[in-house]
């Protein structure tokens, strides 16, 4: 079974631009979560989607948004990029069965803002 895939793997953008990152969960998984990883702040939760609805949201500004499609694929968007948005963005999917719900992570998208 294919794992979680994220595209693109690497991205370079300029301050003020916007960016869209994509995540395809493991087949059958309906929950998708996004995390930001930086050297200073570590891993921080952005948001979680389940069945096309945002179920949970972390403490990030409104410039960060996301959505989930009917096939469970998810995208996150960052508008008006700032230098501090440079990070590894990780997506994780979960099947919502078992205790606890195990999350499977993709390889991440490395975003560099110049």
Partner 1 sequence: GNSVTQMEGPVTLSEEAFLTINCTYTATGYPSLFWYVQYPGEGLQLLLKATKADDKGSNKGFEATYRKETTSFHLEKGSVQVSDSAVYFCALTSGYSTLTFGKGTMLLVSP
Structure tokens belonging to residue 85: 């948005």
Contacting positions for partner 1 (CB under 8 A): 4, 31, 33, 35, 42-43, 45, 48, 55-56, 90, 92, 94, 96, 99-108
Distance CA 63, CA 42 (A): 20
Shortest Å, Cβ 71 to partner 1: 19
Measured from the CB atom, the residue of 44 and 79 that comes closer to partner 1 is 44
Contact 28, 95 (CB under 8 A): yes
Measured from the CB atom, the residue of 80 and 102 that comes closer to partner 1 is 102
Measured from the CB atom, the residue of 42 and 62 that comes closer to partner 1 is 42
Interacting residues of 2 by C-beta distance below 8 A, sequence separation 6+: 26, 27
Shortest Å, Cβ 75 to partner 1: 18
Shortest Å, Cβ 36 to partner 1: 11
Contact 18, 78 (CB under 8 A): yes
Residue located via tokens 């793997």: 9
Measured from the CB atom, the residue of 93 and 113 that comes closer to partner 1 is 93
């Amino acid at each position: 079974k294919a794992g979680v895939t994220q595209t693109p793997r690497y991205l370079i953008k300029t301050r003020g631009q916007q960016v869209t990152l994509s995540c395809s969960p493991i087949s059958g998984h309906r929950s998708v979560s996004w995390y930001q990883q930086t050297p200073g702040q570590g891993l921080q939760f952005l948001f979680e989607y389940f069945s096309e609805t945002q179920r949970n949201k972390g403490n990030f500004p409104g410039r960060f948004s996301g959505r989930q499609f009917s096939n469970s694929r998810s995208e996150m968007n960052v508008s008006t990029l700032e230098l501090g948005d440079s990070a590894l963005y990780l997506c994780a999917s979960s099947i919502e069965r078992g205790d606890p719900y195990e999350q499977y992570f993709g390889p991440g998208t490395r975003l560099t803002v110049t």
